[in-house]
């Protein structure tokens, strides 16, 4: 749980006759992470070309089948129970898929055409309905040799503007039907002036009536014909849908099986493409989790009696950049793993920060958003989201919201706050006694800020220790001693805290951890100076430990001068970083105070009389706090982890463990 799963490198020599059986085992259980074996010594050049062509053909068939399923409205469903041990024959499958495509295409294309026709008819009907009562054969105006004519709907405010713009152009402008918003008008003129009339109509936003071919007579007569044609078209569409539905129902299982066969064959072919081919055997390399190694070995030996298996367990110590990382999955920690994954994927042997973040994230959120009632609302909301009862699209965050809500409720109990009511307000409006178990942030502002800084100091010290632990495991002695989170930097930080504790003394804002460190009988001013020099020249000392040459970049006076300037900037940046990292946790206390202050502001808006308006204001205020401030506090909690906590010891950059699998859903996940 604290580290990724232990991995074993595996190398297989597979006889050609057992190729498919072994590939089926490697692909069927989701435990084998394949690596490319084509660079293996002795591998024949271009041996994978045949399998590449075959994989491309299966991939094409899979896409075509997915298109057919989509056209028929059939979901891919679950993989069938049948076990396909061999790849399907392309020459048998391709004609079958083509025949199904042809059968579906005829009805599908006809349905698409009828739908487009229906849309055109309904659009024309919509245009004609406003002029249904006009007794005019509008089709006679369409092909006039000398007359340009336009009937349409225009915004009433633009009528005068259109008439003014056409004052110098001979035209006839009639309002066929008056309407306060959009009257129906008829604009006519000579063909010679058609361009001018059309531009003027367009600038006045006149929506012209477009009449399809084959319709003539008055608008009422055309509307009657259109409605009859629309009914006939709808009937055709219904009949085509029934045909496709019957086809889908009769061929549903067959199509799903074909899709699964194509998918399985494609996965197997893609895997074989990456094998290395020797004379009569194939070389397969990859990674398997140590826990799955024994069961996979047994299955491989059952699939091939002559297979050769060589395994190399991989230590978590040292740098292992090429080892895929498989994290321990846990439903209850999945949202925390998602947050860690947004920052980076752990490298092999590096400490997985999921468990630490599972504690610190809800803890810091609750400390900033402490309220018993609002926290319980978030807890219930998170449970409902996680169970897909509400907001199904946010299911991945459901448990995280529930954890933060439980923490907020706990801190609300400590702060003595419930739905914003604190102190005498609880007895006055809720009629029961509820005292803070700890203290109210509003009544001890400096105290909560001091505790927030102390909490940050403890978390930062833990980050230094975890960083050193990771460096020991990776045997990175240079960074263990002189890295930004190494021994020297940690010692300088402790000296820095001691000086900070001495400077603040007994003031209310003084961090108790810093004061406690300063009470130790050590010469912290001298130690701070010594460790500052070591931090200042840490790059030089890292080069010494790692054996890099030259020890100082550049030569001559200019090179040394630049080295000194850079070293001074390193110590300056380190001091600023330590101070900002420590004080950054002040936001925890500040948000706790702001949370109480926002509740008081809502009470000020609600007034003092507990009438209906009072309770409506309190309800709306609590909804605002839970939604808006909850989001802000969540962002601030994430910022503290990404910028102040994880950066101290967690580097990420690990290669994800991506096992071969035949199941589409698992493969995508």
Beta bridge mates, 286: 10, 34
| Poorest-pLDDT segment among 209-223, 348-362, 407-421, 451-465 | 209-223
Quickly state the pLDDT bin for 25 (edges 50, 70, 90). Answer: very high
Q: What is the pLDDT of residue 668?
A: 37
Looking at the domain 126-228, which fold is it? Alpha-Beta Plaits (3.30.70)
Q: Classify 197 as helix, strand or coil.
A: helix
Gap between the Cα atoms of 430 and 418, Å rounded: 10
User: Does the structure show a pLDDT above 60 at 232?
Assistant: yes
Nearest CA to 308 among 281, 277, 271? 281
SS3 content of the chain, % helix, strand, coil (to 5): 65, 10, 25
User: Using CA of residue 435, residue 436, residue 442, residue 447, what is the dihedral sign?
Assistant: positive
User: Does the structure show a pLDDT above 90 at 413?
Assistant: yes
User: Does the structure show a pLDDT above 50 at 363?
Assistant: yes
3-state DSSP of 208-251: ECCCCCCCCCCHHHHHHHHHHHHHHHHHHHHHHHHHHHHHHHHH
Gap between the Cα atoms of 278 and 263, Å rounded: 27
Mean pLDDT of 448-477: 92
What are the tens digits of pLDDT across the range 115-170? 998 988 887 787 777 777 777 776 666 667 778 888 888 899 899 889 888 888 89
Structure tokens at 169: 């152009």
Beta bridge mates, 287: 9, 33
**Diameter of the chain by CA atoms?**
109
| Poorest-pLDDT segment among 207-211, 469-473, 658-662 | 207-211
3-state DSSP of 279-306: CCEEEEEEEEEHHHHHHHHHHHHHHCCC
Q: What is the pLDDT of residue 141?
A: 65
**pTM for this predicted structure:** 0.76
Gap between the Cα atoms of 27 and 38, Å rounded: 19
Neighbours of 235 (CB within 10 A): 11
Gap between the Cα atoms of 293 and 312, Å rounded: 11
User: Does the structure show a pLDDT above 80 at 555?
Assistant: no
Instruction: Give the H/E segment covering residue 162.
Output: helix 159-165
Quickly state the pLDDT bin for 665 (edges 50, 70, 90). Answer: very low
Mean pLDDT of 518-528: 92
Tell me the DSSP string of 447-473.
HHHHHHHHHHHHHHHHHHHHHHHHHHH
Q: What is the pLDDT of residue 174?
A: 84
Q: What is the pLDDT of residue 666?
A: 39
Nearest CA to 278 among 13, 655, 565, 653? 13
Tell me the pairing of strands 324-325 and 655-656.
Answer: parallel
Does residue 30 contact residue 288 with C-beta atoms inside 8 Å? no
Does residue 411 contact residue 375 with C-beta atoms inside 8 Å? yes
Q: What is the pLDDT of residue 475?
A: 84
Does residue 155 contact residue 181 with C-beta atoms inside 8 Å? yes
Mean pLDDT of 20-37: 91
What percent of the chain has a predicted confidence (pLDDT) above 90? 47
Query: What are the residue ranges spanned by the domains of the chain?
Result: 7-89+243-324, 126-228
User: Does the structure show a pLDDT above 60 at 45?
Assistant: no
Q: What is the pLDDT of residue 669?
A: 34
Gap between the Cα atoms of 187 and 108, Å rounded: 43
Structure tokens at 347: 């490298």
- Residue whose structure tokens are 């994927």: 345
Residue with the bigger pLDDT between 49 and 245: it is 245
What are the tens digits of pLDDT across the range 171-216? 888 887 787 888 888 888 888 888 999 899 989 988 887 666 667 7
User: Does the structure show a pLDDT above 80 at 559?
Assistant: no
Gap between the Cα atoms of 502 and 528, Å rounded: 13
Q: Classify 623 as helix, strand or coil.
A: helix
Structure tokens at 256: 């799903």
Does residue 374 contact residue 618 with C-beta atoms inside 8 Å? no
Residue with the bigger pLDDT between 491 and 43: it is 491
* Residues in Cβ contact with 537 at an 8 Å cutoff, skipping those fewer than 6 apart: 567
φ, ψ of residue 350 to 5 degrees: the values are -80, 145
Gap between the Cα atoms of 328 and 330, Å rounded: 7
Number of helical (H) and strand (E) elements in the chain, helices listed first: 24, 13
Neighbours of 154 (CB within 10 A): 22
Quickly state the pLDDT bin for 7 (edges 50, 70, 90). Answer: very high
User: Does the structure show a pLDDT above 70 at 423?
Assistant: yes
Tell me the DSSP string of 556-611.
HHHHHHHHHHHHHHHHHHHHHHHHHHHHTTHHHHHHHHHHHHHHHHHHHHH-SS-S
| Poorest-pLDDT segment among 249-253, 315-319, 357-361 | 315-319
């Amino acid at each position: 749980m604290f580290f990724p799963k232990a991995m074993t490198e595996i190398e297989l020599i597979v006889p050609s006759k057992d190729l498919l059986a072994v590939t089926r085992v490697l692909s069927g259980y989701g435990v084998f992470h394949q690596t490319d074996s084509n660079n293996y010594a002795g591998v024949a050049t271009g041996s994978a070309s045949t399998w590449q062509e075959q994989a491309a053909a299966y991939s094409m068939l899979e896409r075509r089948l997915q298109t057919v399923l989509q056209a028929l409205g059939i979901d891919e469903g679950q993989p069938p129970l049948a076990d396909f041990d061999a790849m399907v024959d392309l020459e048998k499958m391709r004609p079958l898929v083509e025949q199904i495509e042809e059968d579906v295409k005829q009805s599908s294309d006809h349905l698409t055409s009828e739908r487009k026709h229906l849309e055109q008819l309904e659009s024309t009907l919509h245009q004609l309905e406003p002029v249904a009562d006009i007794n005019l054969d509008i089709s006679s105006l369409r092909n006039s040799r000398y007359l340009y004519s336009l009937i349409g709907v225009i915004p009433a405010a633009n009528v005068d503007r259109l008439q003014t713009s056409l004052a110098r152009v001979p035209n006839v402008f009639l309002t066929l039907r008056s309407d306060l918003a959009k009257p129906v008008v008829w604009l006519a003129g000579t063909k010679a002036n058609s361009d001018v009339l059309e531009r003027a109509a367009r600038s006045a936003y006149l929506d012209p009536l477009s009449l399809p071919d084959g319709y003539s007579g008055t608008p009422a007569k055309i509307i009657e014909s259109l409605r009859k044609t629309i009914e006939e078209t709808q009937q055709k569409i219904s009949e085509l849908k029934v045909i496709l539905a019957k086809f889908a129902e009769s061929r549903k299982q067959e199509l799903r099986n074909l899709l699964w066969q194509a998918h399985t064959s494609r996965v197997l072919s893609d895997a074989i493409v990456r094998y290395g081919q020797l004379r009569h055997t194939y070389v397969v390399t990859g990674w398997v989790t140590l826990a799955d190694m024994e069961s996979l070995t047994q299955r491989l030996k059952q699939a091939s009696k002559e297979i050769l298996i060589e395994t190399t367990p991989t230590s978590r110590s040292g740098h292992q950049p090429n080892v895929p990382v498989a994290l321990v999955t846990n439903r209850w920690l999945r949202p925390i793993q998602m947050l860690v994954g947004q920052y980076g994927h752990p490298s092999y042997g590096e400490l997985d920060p999921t468990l630490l973040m599972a504690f610190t994230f809800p803890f810091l959120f609750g400390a900033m958003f402490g309220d018993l009632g609002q926290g319980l609302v978030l807890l219930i909301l998170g449970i409902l989201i996680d169970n897909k009862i509400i907001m199904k699209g946010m299911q991945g965050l459901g448990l995280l919201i529930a954890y933060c809500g439980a923490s907020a409720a706990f801190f609300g109990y400590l702060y003595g706050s419930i739905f914003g009511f604190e102190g005498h307000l609880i007895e006055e409006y809720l009629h029961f006694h509820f005292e803070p178990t700890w203290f109210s942030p509003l009544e001890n502002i400096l105290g909560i800020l001091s505790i927030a800084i102390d909490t940050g100091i403890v978390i930062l010290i833990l980050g230094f220790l975890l960083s050193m632990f990771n460096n020991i495991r990776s045997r990175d002695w240079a960074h263990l001693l002189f890295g930004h989170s190494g021994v020297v930097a940690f010692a300088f930080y402790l000296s820095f805290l001691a000086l900070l504790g001495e400077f603040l003394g007994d003031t209310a804002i003084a961090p108790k951890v810093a004061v406690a460190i300063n009470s130790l009988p050590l010469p912290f001013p001298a130690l701070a100076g010594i460790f500052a020099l070591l931090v200042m020249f840490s790059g030089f000392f890292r080069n010494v430990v790692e054996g890099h040459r030259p020890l100082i970049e550049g030569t001559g006076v200019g090179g040394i001068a630049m080295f000194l300037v850079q070293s001074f900037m390193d110590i300056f940046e380190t001091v600023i970083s330590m101070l900002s990292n420590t004080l950054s946790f002040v936001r925890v206390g500040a948000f706790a105070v702001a949370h109480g202050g926002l509740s008081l502001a809502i009470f000020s808006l609600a007034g003092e009389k507990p009438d209906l308006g009072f309770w409506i204001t309190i309800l709306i205020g609590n909804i605002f706090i839970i939604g808006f401030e909850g989001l802000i506090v969540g962002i601030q909690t994430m910022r503290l982890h990404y910028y102040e906590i994880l950066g101290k010891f967690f580097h990420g950059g690990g290669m994800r463990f991506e096992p071969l699998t035949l199941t589409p859903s698992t493969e995508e996940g």
